[in-house]
Structure 1
Amino acid sequence: MNVVLARIGKPHGLRGEVTVQLHTDDPETRFAVGTVIETEAEPGSGVPTTLTITSTRVHRGIWLITFEEIPDRSGAESLRGTRLVLPESNPQVEDEAFYEEDLVGLEARDPSGEKVGTVSGLEIGPAQDRLVLTLTDGVTAYVPFVKRIVPVVAEDHVVVDPPPGLFDLYREGTE
């Protein structure tokens, strides 16, 4: 299994530049000019198995990347939805990288060990990721996936220590 560093979005301009949704906290290093990066795309899509980064820039808070193998907008359009990945065996992968499929279904407990819900998803955000929880009363809540709030990720559960009142915010609209 590979670690997803980014997902390619729509083309930007005419020269093969694409937008990317980041899934890494270190894009400057991961997407340095000259880096050859592996791809995951739909079989038969014609997307190269690797792409070489020729430029990166941030425009209005969105990362834009061009690749040596993609000279124009139509080529960039063909990349839409492609994942830029790092092989799991790569030593640069952070020790604390979690996959959504590993988290979904885990019991969510408060620091005292009481069940508060179940992990039902992971949303990748531009600033930070969020765990999606289905609370024991059926309400969906979102918790920043940071060490301070989710201090423990074990094989069968996560410990969630949200700020006071966070879950109440999600319950207010359901009463």
Structure 2
Amino acid sequence: MQLVVARIGRAHGIKGDVTVEVRTDEPELRLGPGAVLATEPAHAGPLTIETGRVHSGRLLLRFEGVRDRSAAEALRNILLIAEVDPEELPDDPEEFYDHQLMDLDVVLGDGTEIGRITEISHLPSQDLFIVERADGSEVMIPFVEEIVTEIDLEEQRIVIEPPPGLIDESEAEVASARDTDGSTEDADGAGRDAAEQAKGAADDVRKGDA
């Protein structure tokens, strides 16, 4: 099975290093020195990782044969693809590989459907599920135990308990409690923080390395 594990960003320095947007929860395994990765587009690869290091919270990679800034910049926005055994599972039963979670349905505790996972973004502070809804819009769900309460691989679903404000206003009946007269109660501090964090992370995901 081939899985996207990173996207190459801008060049860093003058010796061929590039920043990468990590799309795997095991970068030390998938993006370590010596790893040979296919690419999208295919004609850009395969690429062999020569060195890797973390700088200012971002992973920097250098590939064999890439020796200057111009060559590194030419790789910008290329996707890095690893060959992964579909039967491979993490040692910890509480951990999951991205490919196990992709396309799972996301529902509330009462069964209300929110959408399906189309992407998992690995940010420095936390991981995010990118969930596509029936109308084509997207919502960002922080992958934290306070929100993601159940992962059922057999049923192919994830159960969430979103704090007020995390789900957008078109789902106000889900996102926030309402008074009997129809007015919306103020979100509590935790809800506001989670919503703001998700929105900020969403901005980061959309901006990428532009």
Q: Deviation of residue 92 (structure 1)?
A: 6.0
- Correspondence 1:53-132 to 2 at 5 A: 53=50, 55-89=51-85, 94=90, 96-99=96-99, 102-103=102-103, 107-112=105-110, 114-119=111-116, 121-126=118-123, 127-132=126-131
- Correspondence 1:1-175 to 2 at 5 A: 1-33=1-33, 35-44=34-43, 47-53=44-50, 55-89=51-85, 94=90, 96-99=96-99, 102-103=102-103, 107-112=105-110, 114-119=111-116, 121-126=118-123, 127-134=126-133, 141-146=139-144, 149=148, 151-154=150-153, 157-167=156-166, 170-171=168-169
Partners of 2:76 and 2:64 in 1: CA distance: 16
For structure 2, the 5+ residue unaligned runs are 173-183, 185-210
Over the aligned positions, Cα root-mean-square deviation in angstroms equals: 3.6
Partners of 2:35 and 2:117 in 1: CA distance: 34
Which amino acid letter does the alignment assign opposite residue 65 of structure 1? L
Partners of 1:125 and 1:117 in 2: CA distance: 21
Bigger relative contact order, structure 1 or 2, given CA contacts below 8 A and separation 6+? 1
Q: Deviation of residue 159 (structure 1)?
A: 3.0
Query: How many equivalent residue pairs?
Result: 166
8 Å CA contact 1:135, 1:141 repeated in 2: no
TM-score when normalising by structure 2: 0.61
Identity of aligned residues (%): 25
Secondary structure (helix, strand or coil) at the match of 2:160 reads: coil
Q: Deviation of residue 4 (structure 1)?
A: 2.0
8 Å CA contact 1:38, 1:85 repeated in 2: yes
For structure 1, the 5+ residue unaligned runs are none
TM-score when normalising by structure 1: 0.71
Larger fraction in strand: 1
Which amino acid letter does the alignment assign opposite residue 72 of structure 1? D
Partners of 2:86 and 2:156 in 1: CA distance: 27
Q: Deviation of residue 120 (structure 1)?
A: 6.1
Structure 1, residues 44-68: CA drift from partner, whole Å, max 9, x if none?
Answer: 4xx2313132x22222211111122
Structure-2 change in CA distance of 1:37 and 1:100 (3 Å): same
